[in-house]
Structure 1
Amino acid sequence: MKRLLAWLCAVLSAIGITACDYFNLRELKPGESTAAEVRERFGPPQMEWRNADGSVTWEFTRQPEGTECFMITIGPDEILRSVEQVLNEQNFARVVNGMSGDEVRRLLGKPARSQFFRLKRETVWEWKISNGPDGTSDPVFFTVSFNTDGRVTGTGRYTQYRR
């Protein structure tokens, strides 16, 4: 039964339904859980980042409809080291002018959307970071603007007001 629940949660997560994340995260224990257990609960990562110390960080984004992106680090011994929800104020503050798109992706995960504005000659990536103050309306987005060289030129936020 536990295996069926894990499989169902992985399938729902893959299509953007994140209610199972709470249960999956509760069962994972840094220093004890294995890479296989992480994959069993979350499925395949959207991106793998190799780290200098031999560990790997797996990206599990819940964008475009969710408001979370988990970076899960697995040590060279295949044991879970850490789980971090990276769409947070500390990481938003770390995005500075001049960063590359790869650096931003590594920090925040895959954006919900990317759009090129021809007249301004800039690309804007956005992440959904909130479903509104009551959790059911007016989603809030964090944005990062890039110049034509692919370097950050600024960040911002906006609320998508519903009519």
Structure 2
Amino acid sequence: MKPWVRSILILIVPFLVAACDQNGNFTQEPGLEKLSRGVSSEADVRNAMGQPDTVWEAESGERSLEYPKGPAGARTWIFYIGKDGKLSDYKQVLTEENFARIKVGMNKEEVRRMLGRPGSVVQFARKNEEVWDWRYVPSDASQAFFNVHMDITSGVVTGTSRSDIGGH
């Protein structure tokens, strides 16, 4: 190996290792590398990620901790805590796959639990419409807004749309 290559590797490798979780996978969010499914407690999640924006309690005793990284951010993380108090799973919910699960007729709470707090909420009184939006990074690596359109009176979803940012 050439000396200059070795020097570059010596400088880069510590940063790459620091950006990996306990399984050696690239970390998408600071703090995730400190957590393990089935092992970490809710307190561990809070220590690594901070105070959640919202805590959802299920009748079963399970809890969901919501961490929106917006309004300028393009990620919202939801951490699922089992009845045993251990981290069962976590995921970044602002994805095209998750957006496809939003259906006409869903209510506001269902949308909120699936996508987290919207970046903005705008009402269009003449149309009896309320639009929630989330900034996200689609698969083409640009930036866009996912919009959920709701009837103001009933609070149910009437449709969805995407708004590209920066003329993409």
TM more than 0.5: yes
Match of 1:7 in 2: none
| Inter-partner Cα distance in structure 2 for 1:134 and 1:74 | 31
Say whether the 8 Å CA contact 2:31–2:48 is kept in structure 1.
Answer: yes
| Inter-partner Cα distance in structure 2 for 1:57 and 1:74 | 6
Moved over 3 A (4+): 131-135
* Aligned length, in residue pairs: 140
| Inter-partner Cα distance in structure 2 for 1:21 and 1:60 | 14
Say whether the 8 Å CA contact 2:68–2:76 is kept in structure 1.
Answer: yes
1:75 matched to 2:75? The reply is no
Larger CA Rg, structure 1 vs 2: 2
Identity %, equivalent residues: 36
> CA shift at 1:48, angstroms?
1.0
Amino acid at match of 2:165: Q
User: 1:41 aligns to what SS in structure 2?
Assistant: helix
> CA shift at 1:141, angstroms?
0.3
Match of 1:23 among 26, 30, 35: 30
1:151 matched to 2:156? The reply is yes
| Inter-partner Cα distance in structure 2 for 1:90 and 1:132 | 10
Say whether the 8 Å CA contact 2:96–2:138 is kept in structure 1.
Answer: no
Amino acid at match of 1:142: F
| Inter-partner Cα distance in structure 2 for 1:106 and 1:77 | 21
Amino acid at match of 1:90: E
> CA shift at 1:89, angstroms?
1.8
Unpaired runs of 5+ residues, structure 2, are 1-26
1:54 matched to 2:61? The reply is yes
Match of 1:141 in 2: 145
| Inter-partner Cα distance in structure 1 for 2:126 and 2:133 | 19
Bigger mean CA offset, 73-82 vs 63-72: 73-82
> CA shift at 1:134, angstroms?
5.8
> CA shift at 1:52, angstroms?
3.6
Superposed, 1:77-96 pairs within 5 Å as 77-96=84-103
Say whether the 8 Å CA contact 1:67–1:131 is kept in structure 2.
Answer: no
User: 2:43 aligns to what SS in structure 1?
Assistant: helix
Amino acid at match of 1:56: R
| Inter-partner Cα distance in structure 1 for 2:118 and 2:31 | 23
| Inter-partner Cα distance in structure 1 for 2:115 and 2:82 | 20
Unpaired runs of 5+ residues, structure 1, are 1-19
Normalising by structure 2, report the TM-score. Answer: 0.76
Match of 2:21 in 1: none
Say whether the 8 Å CA contact 1:111–1:125 is kept in structure 2.
Answer: yes
> CA shift at 1:21, angstroms?
5.9
Normalising by structure 1, report the TM-score. Answer: 0.79
Match of 1:103 among 103, 110, 116: 110
User: 1:161 aligns to what SS in structure 2?
Assistant: coil
Pick closer, same or farther for the CA change 1:99–1:134 going to 2, 3 Å: closer
